[in-house]
Structure 1
């Protein structure tokens, strides 16, 4: 296999992990199934709790059995979960699907970036990570643009059709993943260089409890928590205060995704021009300010939606690049998963309180409250210690 062919296959894999068919109508679908915001928040809380419990073990499994095989497990679970929405009707059945969904995401978390980073370092150049990761996300967003346009139409024909179409697309990822090469060493199944459970705990403590990752992970965790919580209220705000018809949600999400794709494609260039430190520090602050403004002028929710999607797409590869650069090759997926666990831990209370607030007040008020709370948190972390410090990859082969 040529050096570049694996990267092209990675791009194909990114194309299959799109949720475009149902992303414009997912919250509306749950409301269609007679759930209220509190029940939706409880499902999100279940997902977040299981993420906290499962991130480190699945990251360890990714280092132990191989990142590629971990991704295969993820795609299988995701496909089963998505197809399950076609038939699930009760809250309990939906909860089971959320369990499968969580398993899919935690098996993918850390493993995909760890596979890509080590593959690039072995075959090309690890400094290309942000560029390749960003372009992979751009491919994902391009596919999402096409599928979201059909999602609203399919939903109008039958609310179950978007999930059927998405299940087929995600299932194709299993086939693509089976053709990817394993990393050379560093924890794949055919390597002798693997972590023991006690080693995994030591790696996490050694990297996440001290600078440069300690305050960095907490800072970006607040950002990702805010992005995740607000996601549940985009569709109710769009179809409620903004008065956008359901059939136009597809084109609306396509517009968001086009912006996201452009930002993702140029993530590496933005990092080189603006700098990782400036980007990481300012983007979360500006986004949280945008969460507050729609309370005073609801139309400002539209640019807020764009900012939310674009900022998440921009920071994701930059954050993972920084964590990779300050991690060991052995245990890289474990460290990335531990960081994701921190993101979920901070999202948990915001999600649960947000559900009660949305039922008691409104989605707009809830989003504004999230913005204020996270802004305060960002300020406290910045006072605690500099979130982003200069430095290069600390360990490469140990």
Structure 2
């Protein structure tokens, strides 16, 4: 049994590697910039991607619960691969926006479903309490792969701007056969009508979970930082470009970002054991207030800030999902996690839409410090007012039933 469990986990790690984005990531925003689009359109395009995720999150999460995790994840891989190719074939602003929405649907089919799938995979073959540690290691492998491919991506872009996207599309497509080497777990559809998770039940479960303070305020707190991270990711390439970093240099720099993030991801288990989820999340507001404000002192602090935000993002995601998973039952787990992802995407999309216009007038380097200070201040107020991270109590939903209870 232990040998089988280890084999399953290693195959899961191999699947995670196919989600690497290193080939195109260092040049994804520059590609649009060099196609003649300004920061306002780039912010709108990223907002279209994120709002597309909002539209797709509940259907994709429901599909993961209803017809099976693997099929839903395979659809996501296929859509992402198609969108990468579509981006280099697009010839108009409308076409770019359509491709972004298709790309968003591909990511949405992975978000909540992948989290639920891994949790249930561990529950069946290993130990679900190891979720944060296993996901942290999977993220480490993903980031190391992205680091290696980022260097190649910058070089490929210098040869032909389309190459990074096409090569990354092939990697995403390879994830589909990798998925089917793994066992099917957590499939919502069976021959018994009693076990079918209906749309009405999905909507009801979302409403019930949204009323639980332990869930609602954690998602709200995470959404603030997700909006900040989304804006930073959109405007970091124009900011670095304005400081004179070359395309090949961006590839090398992004490789460094990924390696540092990989090291950070490997510390998830340690942070959970030493600080706990509450202790880790409590540090976010003061840390990001300081590191974003530092850019106002000198643009040289931009790179350390980017290292900090990228490292922190890969740490808090598995901890956030561990926190939510521990408070959800098996039935409808992917739907609720997709609901949480929907809120995070809405926050990030709104931030990009508003931030794009401001960054276009101020410039990306001048804009980022003010964005960081605003979010850090709002997060500090929310932390004091609501205590978003709460301990589990005896009223947590049982994993074998559909009933829910409040905290």
Q: Could you say whether these structures have the same fold, taking a TM-score greater than 0.5 normalized by the shorter chain as the test?
A: yes
Shift of 1:284: 4.3
Q: Does 1:357 align with 2:358?
A: yes
Confirm or deny that 1:209 pairs with 2:211: yes
Deviation at 1:41, TM superposition (A): 1.2
- Alignment partner, residue 197 of structure 2: 195
- Partner deviation per Cα, 1:77-107 (whole Å, 9 max, x = no partner): 0000011123223212211211110110111
Per-residue deviation, residues 327-356 of structure 1 (Å, max 9, x unmatched)? 111000011101111112222321111111
Aligned residues: 396
CA RMSD of aligned residues (A): 1.6
* C-alpha spacing 1:191/1:240, structure 2 compared with 1 (3 Å): farther
Query: What is residue 72 of structure 1 aligned with on the other side?
Result: 74
CA contact (8 A) 2:288 2:373 kept: no
CA distance change for structure 1 residues 191 and 315 in 2, over 3 Å: closer, same or farther?
farther
Report the equivalent of 1:338: 339
Q: Is the 8 A contact 2:230 2:351 kept in 1?
A: no
Take 1:94 and 1:191, find their aligned partners in 2: how far apart are those partners? 44
Residue 4 of structure 1 aligns with which residue?
6
What is the rounded CA distance, in whole Å, between the counterparts of 2:232 and 2:9 in structure 1?
33
Write the deviation string for residues 280-301 of structure 1: whole angstroms up to 9, x where unpaired: 1212441243122212211011
2-structure distance, mates of 1:214, 1:148: 36
Alpha-carbon distance in 1 for matches of 2:87, 2:341: 26
CA contact (8 A) 1:66 1:189 kept: no
Deviations 1:55-89, CA, capped at 9 Å, x for gaps: 11211111111111110000000000011123223
In the alignment, what sits opposite 1:114?
A: 116
Tell me if structure 1 keeps the 8 A contact 2:5–2:125.
yes
Partner residue, 2:399: 396
Q: Does 1:153 align with 2:155?
A: yes
3-state DSSP of counterpart to 2:130 = helix
1:109-148 deviations in Å (ceiling 9; x for gaps): 1100100101111221111101110111011011111100
Q: Aligned ranges for residues 77-116 of structure 1 at < 5 Å?
A: 77-116=79-118
The aligned counterpart of 1:58 is 60
Counterpart-to-counterpart distance in 2, 1:5 and 1:240: 47
Report the alpha carbon displacement of residue 204 of structure 1 after superposing the two structures with TM: 1.2
User: 2:136, 2:268 within 8 Å by CA — same for their partners in 1?
Assistant: yes
Alpha-carbon distance between aligned partners in 2 of 1:284 and 1:205, rounded to the nearest angstrom:
28
CA distances 1:237-296 after superposition (whole Å, capped 9, x unpaired) = 11213x222211111111110111011122112211121111012124412431222122
- TM-score scaled by structure 2? 0.94
Structure 1 runs of 4+ off > 6 angstroms?
Answer: none
Change (3 A) 1:101 1:391: same
- CA shift at 1:189, angstroms? 5.5
On the 8 A contact 2:75/2:106 being kept in 1, the answer is yes
Change (3 A) 1:190 1:282: farther
Give the Cα separation in 2 of the matches to 1:363 and 1:101. Answer: 25
Superposed counterparts of 1:223-234, under 5 Å: 223-234=225-236
Return the TM-score normalized by structure 1: 0.96
Q: Which residue does the alignment assign to 2:172? A: 170
Structure 1: runs of 5+ lacking an equivalent: none
